[in-house]
A and B are shown apart, each in its own frame.
Chain A
Amino acid sequence: MATQLKRLDKFRLLVPKGFVDGMHVDGIIYVDENLEKYLEIDAIKQVANVATLPGISGKSIAMPDIHTGYGFSIGGVAAFDLETGIISPGGVGYDINCGVRLLRSNIHKDDIKDYIEKLVDKLYLDVPSGVGSKGKLRLSKQDEINLLKKGALFAVEEGFGEKDDLQYIESNGHLDGADPSIISDKAFERGRAQQGTLGSGNHFLEIQYVNEIYDSKAADILGLFPGQITVMIHTGSRGFGHQVCTDFIEIMAQAVIKYKIQLPDRELACAPIKSSEAQAYLSAMKAAANYAWANRQCIMHWTREVFMDVLNMSPEDLGMSIIYDVAHNIAKIEEHNVGGIKKKLIVHRKGATRAFPPFHEELPVRYKDIGQPVLIPGDMGRASFLLIGTKMAMEDTFGSTCHGAGRLMSRHQAIKAAKGRSIRKEMADKGIIVKSAGRETLAEEMSDAYKDVSNVVDVVHNAGISKKVAMLKPIGVIKG
């Protein structure tokens, strides 16, 4: 390669124009020297490839949890002009609106230490997870149509949670403009039985506690205190979203030929934002995003019920409410400052989290002074983090930050590394009770298989694109 990477400062690498042919803008990767060791050449190329797409605005950006994805890297952020730009299903990913929801409670961990096993057992029973699991909900076609249009609101109207929950969900738990009539029968069918299920792989439901607070003012506003029990839900749009992505990669492959778009990689398939193909994808993607928000809403509702039942507490005493819910695989039309001019752009975040600053109009009133809560799940043995969005994120990364730890080992390597060990027991020795449908899932998902999320979070914190508020440690884990 003629052009080399260049370190801009302690936290950023430049992928200069010319790194691959046809780049319209530079790439920027947020990594320090420590995480740079894990940078995959394929992932760097993907950051550069994205910079070749028509109408890209600013820079092709990647977060410190970057790794090789399909077309776009995981941890990628790319914004496109609404006149000259494109939309790409590969820039969102197969699990549309995969995301994270964090719940607070009034309970201190010391008060329930004898109940964790019982809570984990009941959560495992009441929240379907794993390969071949079916949801408890029976949706008619009309139900599914309503759910796709309304997102979390549909779940609330069906008795899952409260209306007040919605303001603490990104986009209030639903995107306008989802048109179920363009959704394939296959997506409908995959979606029907999977609403209200956790899934498998890296998706989880965790009982955690607040281990450390870094910003007490923000923690107060977020209702956090040391030792407090929190619950984190990490899942997405399940088979529904996967099918929408599969369907549209096919449609976009045709669109690329029709609109004569030159692509360095077939998985970057896209269409001009104003084309009928792009508008159809945007609408279908919104439906999948809504599906995911309803999914997390249902799972939260069952979680609250399990806690009330096992701990024999009233909703008021339990005080389990949403801190926030973020999407980390999504494309959204947002207003950003481009060269001093306010402009609407379509921002793709694939394995990246929105991190809007204080006083942004999309924030709930309660968080106006501190900025948007950002939820970063770690691996099941170490920690997860709560951060807040910053002005610098708005200026430099289209209001975005990282989304997780990022894998270090392949699944096979992890299974090999776990051979002869009982991951469940190792976790229990650390005071973490784990329940999983598949034994191999535990091996694949063990801590050693992931980068330390603390390193990832430190980079975005020190680079100023989000700010650490609290560290959350797991004590009970449900894996698919």
Chain B
Amino acid sequence: MKKRFKVIDFYGDVGLEVRGESMEELFENAAKGLSMLITTSKIKPVIKIEISLTATDKETLLLKWLNELIFYFDAKGFVGSKVVFKKFDQNNLVASVCGDYFDNNKHKAGLLIKAATYHNMLFDTNEKGLYAKIIFDI
């Protein structure tokens, strides 16, 4: 299976290169990559949250998606492991994300991520499918 995301270095921060055959898959893989940066431990899908977003373009939608997940972790300790999209187009998404609350006794702590940024953001489509690059502020 092709690697769905790759962690990349960006000076003092980190980023993700994400691939997917569809936008849904790309967004799901971006979410999984983000969770992996927060913890490399396995997260059981025991808690479900709903996310609903609107944006002016696909870059902003991806940014908002990741920042929403960063918010859920930073404010509530929630880490996602499974995503189901109920609605998805260029400007809107409705998703349910299953995961668990981070527990220092159970999960290995990774990075504390401040935000996803527009910096050097890339969105590309080629014969292999969709590709995106996002840099996070750590």
Contact = CB atoms under 8 A, between A and B. Distances in A.
Asked whether A and B interact, the reply is yes
Contact of B74 (A95, A242, A411, A440): A242
A193 B71 CA distance: 13
Contacts of A440: 110
Contacts of B102: 131-132
Interface in B43-91: 60, 64, 67, 70-71, 74-77
A249 B77 contact: no
Contact of A131 (B12, B112, B121): B112
Given A67-B11, A70-B119, A131-B109, A246 B67 contact: yes
A199 B112 contact: yes
Interface in B9-63: 9-14, 38-39, 60
Contacts of A314: none
Contacts of B70: 246
B114 A94 contact: yes
A391 interface: no
A239 B75 contact: yes
Contact of B14 (A130, A133, A193, A411): A411
Interface in B82-127: 102-104, 107, 109-112, 114-115, 117-119, 121
Contacts of B39: 131
A314 B107 CA distance: 40
Given A94-B137, A130-B109, A245-B115, A239 B74 contact: yes
A246 B112 contact: no
A40 interface: yes
A199 B109 CA distance: 12
Interface in A186-233: 186, 189-190, 192-194, 199-201
Contacts of B14: 410-412
Contact of B75 (A40, A189, A249, A250): A189
A23 to B, nearest CB: 20
Instruction: Tell me if B's interface is mostly helix, strand, loop or mixed.
Output: mixed
A127 B70 CA distance: 23
Residue among B14, B74, B110, B137 facing the most chain A CB atoms (10 A cut-off): B74
A245 to B, nearest CB: 7
A68 B112 contact: no
Given A200-B112, A239-B74, A437-B109, A67 B118 contact: no
A131 B71 contact: no
Interface residues of B, number: 35
Contact of B12 (A186, A193, A245, A407): A407
B72 to A, nearest CB: 10
Interface in A409-467: 410-413, 437-438, 440
Nearest to B102: A132
A253 interface: yes
Contacts of A239: 74-75, 114
A435 to B, nearest CB: 14
Interface string A77-101: 0000000000000000111000000
A377 interface: no
Given A186-B75, A199-B112, A70 B12 contact: no
Interface string A238-255: 010011011001100100
A249 B109 CA distance: 28
A325 to B, nearest CB: 21
A138 B99 CA distance: 26
A407 B11 contact: yes
Contacts of B115: 94, 242, 245-246
A136 interface: no
Contacts of A253: 60
Nearest to B110: A131
A413 B14 CA distance: 11
A58 interface: no
Contacts of B67: 246
A245 B38 CA distance: 20
Interface string A54-71: 000000000000011011
Nearest to A184: B71
A192 B64 CA distance: 22
Contacts of A437: 104, 109
A357 interface: no
Contact of A267 (B38, B71, B118): B118
A70 B107 CA distance: 30
Contacts of A201: 111-112, 138
Contacts of B13: 411
Interface of A: 40, 67-68, 70-71, 93-95, 130-133, 186, 189-190, 192-194, 199-201, 239, 242-243, 245-246, 249-250, 253, 265-267, 407, 410-413, 437-438, 440, 480
30 contacts: A67-B12, A70-B118, A71-B119, A94-B137, A130-B109, A131-B38, A131-B110, A132-B77, A132-B102, A132-B103, A132-B104, A186-B71, A189-B75, A190-B75, A192-B75, A201-B112, A239-B74, A242-B115, A242-B137, A243-B71, A246-B67, A246-B115, A249-B118, A250-B64, A266-B121, A407-B11, A410-B12, A411-B9, A437-B109, A438-B110
Given A239-B114, A410-B12, A411-B14, 13 more contacts: A131-B102, A189-B76, A199-B112, A200-B111, A201-B111, A201-B112, A242-B114, A242-B115, A245-B115, A250-B60, A253-B60, A411-B12, A438-B110
Q: Give 10 nearest A-B pairs by CB, closest first.
A: A131-B109, A410-B9, A200-B112, A407-B12, A242-B114, A266-B118, A239-B74, A94-B114, A189-B75, A70-B119
